[in-house]
Structure 1
Amino acid sequence: MAAVHIITGATSGLGLSVAKRLAKKTDDLIIAGARNPAETDALRRMVPAGRLDVLRLDTASPDLVKSFVSEIKNRLGDSKIASLSCIAGLQILGPQKLTANGIDETFATNVMGHVHLVDGLRDHLALGASVITIGSGTHDPNNKLASRAGFAGA
């Protein structure tokens, strides 16, 4: 099996750019986690057929993270993950929103979901695999710029 790269948030922004770069630089398999797999047209145009799997993943939902991890493990068998790019994220303008578990939705999506994802897949990471996390400081109440912009966590 070719090397495997997993990307969360690959349907737009930085995640889409990472997927595009991997598709150009390698012949490896890209597995993308997407909140709505039906909305992956841009991603599918950039990655050749047969080199992309899109699985449902909402990092704000512990149950969907567990399902994603389980599906990855089933698909990989004994194969290992070359890179795991944790890029999915959101910014909520306005009042704070909580997940069904009572956690701030921004924190659950941008941080906790990725913590559980990396933890769930750590035994499938290849020796020397890259784990990349990308985030912002908009959730930080001490971030004056975020506070002025009205981000919920600020």
Structure 2
Amino acid sequence: MAGMATHLITGAGSGIGAAVARRLDERGDELVLLARDAGRAKELAARFPGARTLVGDLADPDRLSWAFSHQSLPDRVDSLLHIAGIVDLGPIGDLRPKTWHQQLNLNLIAPAEITRLLLPQLRICKGHVVFVNSGAGLAAHAEWGAYAASKHGLKALADSLRQEEKPNGIRVTSVYPGRTASPMQAKVHSQEGKAYDPARWIDPESVATTILMALDLPRDAEVTDLMVRPGR
């Protein structure tokens, strides 16, 4: 994907998303960064001066098509990078529908809806859709039920999309990072009642490296599922 590719990124404000956005920006690619509101869009535009912003709240996927219809979408999208996510732990016996809805909306339904809305542009470019999943997308543990369900669902979304869009030349990659040093990880540790030491976990830059590797792979190959684990 040499030179001036256009990437639409969710979650560019922190963690893995910020690392990916910075790397793509530094190499001269075009960025379109999704922000949940105008204030957040302003922050992202200040951090990435050449980037375009698009406003849409992933927490409310039912309103994304309305939001996008009032803004100009890019004519081309070479890659759609779903990196935003939320986590809220708790035993099934305590989780209310609200907690389920929040995680399913943001982690699963919003990526499905954004993908639907941008498929015409992705088909034109024979683009690439990357879903940043989680180890929880492959195995569910105690107190991770709602989050893991959203991420298991995200794997299903990616696998179905890959088969459906293969004739249109679209590549689809799921990345399953282990615990990554990010604000989300700090929240998980506080919910688990554990001390947080970022040095123990994967640097977001390392996950960004694997995402760029998948994007830059020659057209004769596709990375479908990529597991990234802490090396220490």
Smaller-chain TM-score bracket: 0.7 to 0.9
Q: Which residue matches 1:56?
A: 55
Q: Distance in 2 between matches of 1:53 and 1:61?
A: 21
Trace 1:71-82 onto structure 2 (pairs within 5 A). Answer: 71=70, 74-76=72-74, 79-82=75-78
- Deviation per CA, 1:99-137, whole angstroms, max 9, x where unpaired? 6xx962212211111111111110112332111111225
Query: Does the CA contact (< 8 Å) of 2:41 and 2:54 recur in 1?
Result: no
| Aligned counterparts of 2:45 and 2:86: Cα–Cα separation in 1 | 22
Which residue number corresponds to residue 23 of structure 1? Answer: 25
The match for 2:116 is 119
TM-score normalized by the length of structure 2 = 0.51
Task: Confirm or deny: 8 A CA contact 1:33 1:57 kept in the other structure.
Answer: yes
Whole-Å separation in 2 of the counterparts to 1:40 and 1:63: 20
Structure 1 unmatched runs, 5+:
none
| SS, match of residue 34 in structure 2 | strand
Of the three residues 8, 13, 23, the one matched with 2:10 is: 8
Greater fraction of residues in strand:
1
Q: Which amino acid aligns with 1:61?
A: D
CA distance in 2, matches of 1:138, 1:66: 29
User: Per chain length, whose mean CA-contact separation is higher, i.e. which structure has more relative contact order (CA < 8 Å, sep 6+)?
Assistant: 1
CA 17–110 in structure 1, closer or farther in 2 if over 3 Å, else same: same
Instruction: Give the unaligned 5+ runs of structure 2.
Output: 149-232
Q: Specify the SS of the correspondent of 1:58.
A: coil
Contact 2:61 2:106 in 1 (8 A): no
Number of aligned pairs? 140
Of structures 1 and 2, the larger Rg is shown by 2
Contact 1:98 1:104 in 2 (8 A): yes
State, as a whole percentage, how many aligned pairs show the same letter. Answer: 26
CA distance in 2, matches of 1:89, 1:134: 9
Task: Give how far 1:81 is off.
Answer: 1.0
CA contact (8 A) 2:10 2:34 kept: yes
